[in-house]
Structure 1
Amino acid sequence: MTLHTRPDPKGAPVPPVARPKEKAHVIKTEAEAIDIARRLAADFAKGASERDRNRVWPQAELDAFSQSGLWAINVPREFGGLDASWVTINRVIAIISEADPSLGQVPQNHLGVVSAIRTVSDKAQQELLFSEVLSGTRFGNAFSEFGSKRAVDFETKFEDRGDHVLVNGRKFYASGALLAHLVPIVALDAEGRAWYAIADRGAEGLSVIDDWSSFGQRTTLSGTVTLTNVKVPKTHLVPGWKGYAEPTADGAIFQIIQAAVDLGIARAAIRDTVDFVRHRSRAWVDSGLEHASQDPYTIQAVGDLVLRANAAEAVLDQAGLAVDAAVSAPSADSVARAQIKTAEAKVLTTEIAIQATNKLFELAGTRSTLAEHNLDRHWRNARTHTLHDPVRWKYAILGNYYLNGVNPPLHAWS
């Protein structure tokens, strides 16, 4: 296995990776998807702390992940995919994220773009792009921009040149782009509509710079993407704006995967809390107890954490069912319900991720803060990942829906 550590953030752009030599496995059942996720997670967990500590790129792990077929499980059946339910997809992402939440986050935009292609592309484009996904091609992303006033404001644009377009702009927060094979770029046309211009990672004029410096989610393969007259064939120009021009599940899908990552982070923190208290923590001096695990206050606190994680998981399952219904029969009502249930899941998974990763140190004690354990990675990951979209606005969406009958807005953050 080749280890890649972060170069100087002001260094040269990172060269693209080769496409896989063999086609990816095609998963046939949802039970198989869960089994594969668990097997991969057991392997990914082994090096997760080292990868975080030294910012080692998970290249071998990512190859195993995408070649396993899990990156193609939302490809529709008519194109050869599993068309897994969103309940199952969320469970897969949570399983992987419990092992390593950076790896759990990397396919988020890939899965979202695959779903968008299902929603807005014509059949010829679907056949072309879904065949790429089934073969093992990884989408990265070049969506967000660093200096805009709002997340929905884009300065990246493309010019129509007949059978292709030329894209110019600059992106940041480009999770997965470093080791992607194709990079979907959100770019505006002359009318100000947002498209996914899916460029080859090695396209002339496209550069990915490894300058991600966050204290959490350190190996999401993110950074800056610069775009100078990047040529994208019209076959790979996806009208993403159509997914928000009328009610579709696209926005809820981008959101629900975030919630699954946060659930995985919470589970990892609870797991490590239990292990540390059982095997390393000392009983408090006034307790008169032999073991820290006998402390009634600790017992109560762990019970509360597990209960809240289980509640978040249950609501995430409800959200998955609502998203499935909106995908099958999109309407103003079904899409709003998917958005609302996803917002509920996002609130609960955010709160338990922050609570569990903070409570870990209170319950495990001072010894748990030693660098040798690197347990602070759980809090750093939770605090970083849950900032993607503020839950204070989720509460507002929920209240306005239940009190005033106002449906959530249609965009990728709702």
Structure 2
Amino acid sequence: MRIAVPKEIKNNENRVALTPAGVKELSNRGHEVFVQATAGIGSGFPDEAYAKAGATILPTIEETYAAGDMIVKVKEPIEPEYKLIKKDQLVFTYFHFASCEPLTHAMIESGSVCLAYETVEKEDRSLPLLVPMSEVAGRMATQEGAHYLEKPYRGRGILLGGVPGVKPAKVLVLGGGVVGTQAAKMAAGMGADVTIMDLSLPRMRYLDDVMPANVRTQMSNEYNIREAIKDADLIIGAVLIPGAKAPHLITREMLKDMRPGTVLVDVAVDQGGCIETCTPTTHENPTFIIDDVLHYCVANMPGAVPYTSTLALTNATLPYAIELAEKGWTKACQDNAELRKGLNVANGKVVYKGVSDAFNLPYTDVDEFLASTAGSMSVD
């Protein structure tokens, strides 16, 4: 198969979808790999390393898209890339369709096959390609939140861990999944007073057992959230519904109950956000203020630490990329239920229910779709 890795062009996105080691693995199996010039430079991988591993370096993004049967990316295609994606071309990346209707329609119209990292799902319902970036984003949420609590950024001017004789900051984490757990772990390590809210009693029992004494759990409901935000210094939104929009747990009118300088970090912003007033921002302009409450809503937080993020992501994605390359997407998705759940949009049809529901689009059952396309794709 011909596999192409374009350079990410989203604002301040420095990750790359394949490392030289990944290129070597694919090349050793007889696949052709094309990498756009400087695609890996932001993560510390020069063109020479890719060439030595067996990749062909292409000078432009147009040539790179044109070369691939499979496009491997990190972030969802943005508008300048829409026209570069061809009918029947497999695009393997994060899509987060439910938060972006224009992207959804563009991919439907392209006739491409969109396999989303974030909905590849194991039998135990874990999300193996979302977990690595969730771990990074969760830890970064606390790191960035602590930074923006400083007074020069119009935060409350409070040190997360306090000092002897002065109480630490109060951190509220909404969601006890991977992001929330990592955020709470970082906040606890910095000495903060941490509360994690979740809907699952088994999950809270687990967190109660493994977390240090300065982390407590509480049932997530509107009443408890309204009470907790009154004296929270840092609030981290870490709610995920795979492939669908996140629910708004904090509404606009709830901001009036927060103290001036409170910091909100919404890690779910690329799925619509769990804080109503959050809209996606960039690393260049990461924050805005509404009602004296500071919002940090960067949609690609792990892009700020690309070396760590690229290695963590490619460790997880490479085995799936190899399977797709070896078998072709149709056979791979038929054989592997995890990959099958990653199919969102294919050949003009929406085959993931969460995307269909988000925009009231016609839905095609993925198993019926795969049965109808069996044998239509071959592996080069």
Shorter-chain TM-score range: under 0.3
Higher helix share: 1
TM-score after normalising by structure 1: 0.25
Higher strand share: 2
TM-score after normalising by structure 2: 0.27
